Amino acid sequence: MKVTGIKELFKKHGALLSGHFLLSSGLHSDTYFQSALILQHPHEAERLAETLAEKVMREVPDVDVVVSPAIGGIVIGQEVAAQLGTRAIFAERADGKLVLRRGFHIEKGEKCLIVEDVITTGLSTKEVKEVVETSGGKTAAVCCLVDRSGGSIEFGVPKFSLLEIEAVNYKPEECPMCKEGGTPVKPGSRTKQQNGKQEQKQEQKQEQKQEQKQEQKQEQGESK
Ligand SMILES: [Zn+2]
């Protein structure tokens, strides 16, 4: 059964929140999307995948393999592949770089469909595309549940999504919600695999900050 009212469905499962959020990237946003909260229901994952796969098939009918970035893209990638009758593989991070492991491979010339849960900056999608192409495959199309860029990011291949939202991200110092006196909330922490490099950088920054704080404390003679 296909899905209508995607936005309402996401909201119903608490996967799409409106408010004032602190993203893992350090940016503030008025929108937060946590796909795991809807994909934890297999029947919903299946319906979403069916709707997405049908969109893809109409324009790109001959996909050989679905490739997703771990972890966020795995569940929806598997479900979309089930609809298309193809293999589903995923790229995961090793030493900060997305790679195929576990014996996964792409045959030369295989047409690959990149499946993501959420596209925000498009960085991980571009990385998966690189993995596909360096493996000898061809990127046939990109698809995702939610395109947070409002459809503005291009990958040079057809792109499909179930929902385009223009989520606005702000640097903390420029955030209008903060200027109005609000405090951002950090929803259930996102896995670092979803945002890849950005979040790793953020983690490094946080670690550096913590180290700095510890150093300061030591300098100030505060001990615990
Ligand atoms: Zn803010």
pLDDT in tens, 9-27: 999 999 999 899 998 778 8
Residue 164 CA, ligand 1 centroid: distance in Å = 22
pLDDT in tens, 161-209: 999 988 888 999 999 999 999 999 987 654 443 344 444 444 455 555 5
Within-domain flag for 109: yes
pLDDT at residue 207, as a whole number: 52
Preceding omega of 38 cis (within 30 degrees of 0): no
Note down the domain range covering 137: 6-211
**How many CB atoms within 10 Å of residue 57?**
15
| Domain total in the chain | 1
Residue 67 CA, ligand 1 centroid: distance in Å = 35
Residue 71 CA, ligand 1 centroid: distance in Å = 27
Q: Rounded to two decimals, what is the model's pTM? A: 0.77
Within-domain flag for 223: no
pLDDT in tens, 33-89: 899 999 999 999 999 999 999 999 999 999 999 999 999 999 999 999 999 999 999
| Triad 166, 203, 14: Cα angle to 5° | 40
Within-domain flag for 78: yes
- Give 148 or 108, the one with higher predicted confidence: 108
Within-domain flag for 219: no
Domain CATH number, residue 14: 3.40.50.2020
- How many angstroms separate the CA atoms of 53 and 63, rounded? 10
Residue 31 CA, ligand 1 centroid: distance in Å = 12
Q: What does the block give as tokens for 51? A: 């709707």
Residue 173 CA, ligand 1 centroid: distance in Å = 8
Which residue, 52, 64, 168, is CA-closest to 117? 52
Within-domain flag for 169: yes
Residue 172 CA, ligand 1 centroid: distance in Å = 5
Residue 27 CA, ligand 1 centroid: distance in Å = 8
Within-domain flag for 72: yes
Which residues have beta carbons under 5 A from ligand 1 (an ion)? 28, 175, 177-178, 184
Within-domain flag for 81: yes
pLDDT at residue 212, as a whole number: 58
Within-domain flag for 140: yes
